[in-house]
Structure 1
């Protein structure tokens, strides 16, 4: 059983390319990116715990 396949790879790449908030300054973008990365990691860890 492999967790990574063409479908999950596509979803992972899409998750790393989120739409950015318009007219955001550097600090806002940094905060947004950090929260987005944490969400991705939370999703990966929840999948890992299901295996």
Structure 2
């Protein structure tokens, strides 16, 4: 795993957490599609890691 890949996954996970929190608060239901896209790219272990 390269450092660039680690950075990319960390950024993607931060974006996912932000979108998911907004989704749970029903701030923006439109973000649901982006959440699903990120879920395809991130392993569930990475999502739950931090």
> Which one has the bigger helix percentage?
2
TM-score scaled by length of structure 2:
0.47
* Greater gyration radius: 1
What is the TM-score normalised by the length of structure 1? 0.47
Higher relative contact order (CA 8 A, sep 6+): 2
